[in-house]
Amino acid sequence: MSDLSLSRICFVSNNTPAADEAAARLRLAYGAHELADADVVVALGGDGLMLQTLHQVMGQNIPVYGMNFGSVGFMMNPYNEENLLERLNDAQRTHIYPLSMTVTDQSGETRSALAINEVSLFRSTYQAAKLQILVDGEVRLEELICDGALLATPAGSTAYNLSAHGPILPIEAPLLALTPISPFRPRRWRGAILSNRAEVTFLTRESDKRPVSAVADNVEFHNVASVSVREDRTHAVALMFDPGTSLEERVLTEQFRF
């Protein structure tokens, strides 16, 4: 097995007892490497740990193979300690490109973050948010009164976007899903499917009494005035799946669930 290309493994876990014990056994069986010295990361946990790990390896050209110790495990493979090196080298890879979010807050400060699943805007008080939406600098929706809105990648389209009644996007599609969250006016607007080359800008209105927060995966900024989002092709991440269970297949299967 030592001649296989992916042999230096960095094991990470979600710090639950079962996952930590499994990680300890796997390190004894297959060796333990730090991230900087690894060919591959094996993540033992759920989809939350997978997102966290993908952010850690972003831009480092290190693929991530997940084994499920969570509840849903949409991005994970079944847990199995046997023949791990062979499984890693036989695994299919799916490359994902994150969204780059640039936020300007009410004080004029600008900050940025990356999102693998989605960028979301949320009202911060009991009052609905008022958002103006621009696509490539052109106003497409003058005013959306809502609990919020989100822009999702194909990988994130089956997550919060789907729960907000947004469309599922094929994983290789050069598209983004723009989805309102509990829209009040216009009540019948259900969002849009956009090119992945588009830049989407959200401008908040009456933000002094209708404050809005912006979230890129798990990074949150408060009291935002404007949020610009576009796909970042310079920070690809690679997920690994057992043959026949690729992310493409999972996304396709999800569209026929009811």
Are residues 225 and 105 both part of a single domain? Answer: yes
CA distance 161 to 167: 7
Say if residue 147 is in the same domain as residue 212: yes
| Count of the separate structural domains present in the chain | 2
CATH number at residue 216: 2.60.200.30
Active site residue 37: no
What lies within 8 Å, CB to CB, of 14 at 6+ separation is 44, 45, 46, 48, 49, 69, 70
The answer on 80 and 114 residing in a single domain is: no
pLDDT in tens, 155-188: 999 999 999 999 999 888 999 999 999 999 998 8
Average per-residue pLDDT for the chain: 93
Would you say residue 1 lies in a domain? no
Q: State whether 88 and 146 are in the same domain.
A: no
- Cβ neighbours for 162, distance < 8 A, ≥ 6 positions apart: 168, 254
Contacts of 27-35 spanning 24+ positions with Cβ under 8 A: 29/81, 29/84, 30/84, 30/85, 31/7, 33/8, 33/9, 34/10, 35/10, 35/60, 35/62
Give the model's confidence band at 240: pLDDT under 50 very low, under 70 low, under 90 confident, else very high.
very high
> Using one digit for the tens of pLDDT, what is the confidence trace for 45-104?
999 999 999 999 998 889 999 999 977 788 899 999 999 999 999 999 999 999 999 999
In a domain, 248, yes or no: yes
pLDDT over 60 (residue 37): yes
Q: Can you give the CATH number for the domain in which 19 is found?
A: 3.40.50.10330
* Domain enclosing residue 31, as ranges: 9-96+236-254
Going by pLDDT thresholds of 50, 70 and 90, the confidence category of residue 4 is low
Catalytic residue from among 20, 37, 39, 47: 47
**What pTM does this model have?**
0.89
